[in-house]
């Protein structure tokens, strides 16, 4: 998923897991450029930035050093860097938890900011403004890409933490030396020696979308070694010469696999090799002197590989359909556009700073029912006890307290533990309501279990609502639905199914 969850190390530190990188002209002011990075896939409403990680966007000027099968984009040795550090949570005068941070600008100035402050922060000179906070994930993936099967957006309703930098193009970039640039984003831990081995140089970095999850770890290829963590340890703009042959071969093999996914060969071997050489130098190309729009993504690379001058500013906008643009190029070399099962993200980008849509906070609902032959009272006598030991996935239940506010700690047969609290119960109406305190990757998690008469039997309705945190809505719905269905289906063997 773009750069979401792109290796074992980033999975263990989601706040340092970069999901996307963007470079585009400001919709508010064409004289300004926007650079943005997103981190923390499926961020919950209380997600915060790490206070021990440097979040950085680095930019270097690039020249076209070759075209056609000799295509090459050569970055300069030096560049500019926007680096962010965040503090631990504090409380304001109203008792609300807030997080502050500092952006170090390329010229050494420091700009203080408050996370989730909608207007962001600006320098006194007005040449730079920044934002950091929770936003709707602008990326969308609507394919089972290993078999080119269309799906709904797999990231529907998910959020990320966004870092946005907007600056006056001519005041920050010296355009007299050229207007083509390459950008990368990276997350760098403190440079302390690990007692069990060498220091970790970085946790994650990204240039173009899908370098790791689609190109280096192609899901259409079987029995391959996962190179993503090894790749993430490389130095941007300077991939290890020792490891270059390994990465180049994987890029070529991956491209050849994509090419044949539709059963047609569109890419000659020499062009695949040339493309691999270009993508080995992984940085997001953008030209500030040319138009950057929703369709210009990868146009600079495509044109240069085809031996013709590029016409757009490349880059990547908030609403760019980056997955379908890349997939179409890899599979059929733009012979026929491949549109996935969605045409946009959960929310489109906005035209005003900070350009990324507000977070998704809509409650998701899972509702399952079962009709039984037994009377409502008979069924309620079993499941109306908050303990929940009747559920087949329950190994053990410990109760704390009694009545409203009672806690149940459930040990599942798979080892997972959940803590839930009784919020309301009505024996006359045969219903109770509970909330999840721990154990579910969700907030605002509320469940209601109710038994009603139906004919000579009864119907049990189990309804849950939540906001996913740490998992996609799609994944959480599958988990919750499976839990509910398994429990309700088990009641048929006890009470018989309604006829």
> 99-113, 332-346, 380-394: lowest mean pLDDT where?
380-394
Task: Kindly report the CATH number assigned to the domain that includes residue 388.
Answer: 3.30.530.20
Q: What is the pLDDT of residues 222-245, one digit of tens each?
A: 889 999 999 999 999 999 999 999
Residues 262 and 384 occupy one common structural domain = no
Asked whether residue 267 is domain-assigned, the answer is yes
Once rounded to an integer, what is the mean pLDDT over residues 35-59?
Answer: 95
Residue 12: what pLDDT?
Answer: 75
**Statement to judge: residues 386 and 306 lie in one domain:** no
Q: Indicate whether 359 belongs to any domain.
A: no
Residues 48-62 pLDDT 10s: 999 999 999 999 999
Q: Indicate if 302 and 385 belong to the same structural domain.
A: no
Q: Which residue has the tokens 């007299």?
A: 176
Residues 407 and 465 in one domain: yes
Domain that includes residue 279, residue range: 8-332
Asked if 130 and 119 count as a contact pair (C-beta separation under 8 A), the reply is no
Q: What is the mean pLDDT of the chain?
A: 94
Backbone φ/ψ region at 120: left (φ over 0), alpha (ψ -120 to 50), beta: left
Angle among Cα 244, 299, 276 to the nearest 5 degrees reads 20
Q: pTM for this one?
A: 0.89
Q: Determine the distance from the C-alpha atom of residue 18 to the mean position of all C-alpha atoms in its chain, rounded to a whole number.
A: 8
At 276-309, the pLDDT tens digits run: 999 999 999 999 999 999 999 999 999 999 999 9
In a domain, 249, yes or no: yes
Asked if the structure places residue 128 within a domain, the reply is yes
**156 occurs within a structural domain:** yes
**Residues 307, 433: one domain?**
no
Q: What is the model's pLDDT at position 260?
A: 96
Are 323 and 411 within one domain?
no
Q: How many domains does the chain have?
A: 2
Same domain as 219, residue 161: yes
Same domain, 217 and 313: yes
The helix or strand, by DSSP H or E, that contains position 112, with its residue range, turns out to be strand 110-114
At residue 199 the predicted structure's pLDDT band, cuts being 50, 70 and 90, is: low
For 115-136, the pLDDT digits (tens) are: 999 999 999 999 999 999 999 9
pLDDT digits (tens, 9 = 90+) for 422-481: 999 999 999 999 999 999 989 999 999 999 999 999 999 999 999 988 888 888 999 999
Beta strands 431-438 and 128-136, pairing class: unpaired
**Can you give the pLDDT at residue 202?**
83
Q: Give the number of other CB atoms < 10 A from CB of residue 346.
A: 20
User: Same domain for 393 and 306?
Assistant: no
* Structural tokens at position 483: 């839990």
Taking 90 as the threshold, does the pLDDT of residue 197 lie above it? no
Res 200: pLDDT? 65
Query: Given a cut of 90, is residue 40 above it in pLDDT?
Result: yes
Q: Classify each residue of 227-247 as buried b or exposed e, where b means 16 or more C-beta atoms within 10 Å of its C-beta.
A: bbbebbbbebbebeeeeeeeb
For 317-331, what is each residue's pLDDT tens digit? 999 999 999 999 999
Looking at the structure, tell me whether residues 394 and 301 fall in a common domain: no
Q: Domain for residue 350, yes or no?
A: no
Whether residue 311 is found in the same domain as residue 371: no
* 265 and 377 part of one domain: no
Our measurement of the distance from residue 360's CA atom to the centroid of its chain's CA atoms, rounded to an integer in Å, reads 13
For position 71, what pLDDT does the model report?
A: 98
In the listed set 332, 350, 381, which residue is the last one of a domain according to the structure? 332
Residue 463, in any domain of the structure:
yes
In a domain, 375, yes or no: yes
Q: What is the pLDDT of residue 93?
A: 81
Position 8 pLDDT exceeds 80: no
């Amino acid at each position: 998923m773009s750069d979401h969850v792109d290796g074992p190390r980033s999975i263990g530190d989601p706040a340092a897991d970069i999901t996307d990188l963007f470079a585009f002209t400001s919709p508010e002011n064409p004289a300004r450029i926007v650079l943005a990075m997103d981190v923390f896939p499926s961020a919950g409403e209380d997600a915060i930035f790490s206070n021990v990680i440097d979040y950085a966007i680095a930019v270097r000027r690039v020249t076209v050093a070759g075209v056609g099968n000799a295509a090459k984009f050569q970055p300069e040795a030096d560049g500019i860097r926007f680096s962010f550090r965040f503090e631990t949570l504090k409380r304001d005068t109203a008792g609300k938890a807030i997080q502050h941070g500092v952006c170090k600008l390329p010229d050494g100035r420091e700009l203080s900011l408050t996370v989730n402050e909608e207007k962001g922060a600006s320098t006194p000179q007005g040449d730079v403004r920044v934002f950091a906070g929770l936003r709707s994930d602008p990326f969308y993936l609507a394919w089972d890409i290993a078999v080119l099967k269309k799906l709904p957006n797999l990231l529907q309703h998910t959020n990320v933490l966004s870092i946005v930098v907007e600056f006056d193009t001519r005041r920050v970039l010296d355009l007299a030396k050229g207007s083509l640039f390459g950008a990368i984003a990276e997350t760098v831990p403190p440079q302390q020696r690990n007692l069990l081995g060498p220091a970790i140089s970085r946790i994650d970095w990204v240039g173009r979308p899908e370098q790791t999850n689609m190109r280096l770890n192609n899901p259409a290829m079987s029995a391959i070694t996962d190179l993503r963590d090894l790749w993430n340890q490389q130095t941007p703009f300077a991939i290890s010469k020792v490891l270059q042959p390994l990465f180049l071969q994987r890029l070529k093999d991956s491209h050849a696999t994509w090419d044949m996914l539709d059963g047609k060969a569109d890419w000659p071997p020499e062009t695949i090799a040339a493309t691999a050489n270009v993508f080995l130098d992984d940085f997001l190309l953008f030209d500030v002197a040319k138009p950057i729009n929703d369709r210009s993504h990868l146009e600079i690379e495509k044109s240069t590989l085809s031996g013709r001058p590029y016409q757009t500013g490349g880059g990547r906008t908030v609403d760019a359909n980056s997955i379908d643009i890349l997939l179409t190029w890899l599979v059929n070399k733009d012979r026929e556009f491949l549109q996935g099962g969605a045409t946009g993200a959960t929310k489109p980008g906005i035209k005003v700073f900070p350009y990324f849509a507000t977070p998704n906070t809509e409650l998701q609902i899972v509702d399952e029912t079962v009709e039984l032959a037994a009377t409502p009272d008979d069924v309620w006598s079993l499941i109306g006890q908050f303990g929940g030991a009747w559920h087949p996935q329950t190994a053990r239940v410990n109760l704390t307290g009694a009545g409203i506010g009672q806690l149940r700690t459930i040990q599942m047969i798979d080892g997972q533990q959940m803590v839930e609290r009784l919020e309301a119960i009505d024996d006359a109406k045969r219903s109770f309501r509970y909330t999840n305190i721990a154990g579910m990757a969700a907030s605002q998690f509320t469940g209601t279990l109710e038994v009603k008469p139906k004919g000579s039997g009864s119907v049990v309705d189990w309804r849950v609502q939540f906001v996913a945190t740490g998992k996609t809505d799609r994944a959480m719905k599958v988990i919750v639905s499976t839990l509910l269905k398994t429990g309700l289906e088990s009641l048929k063997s006890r009470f018989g199914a309604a006829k």
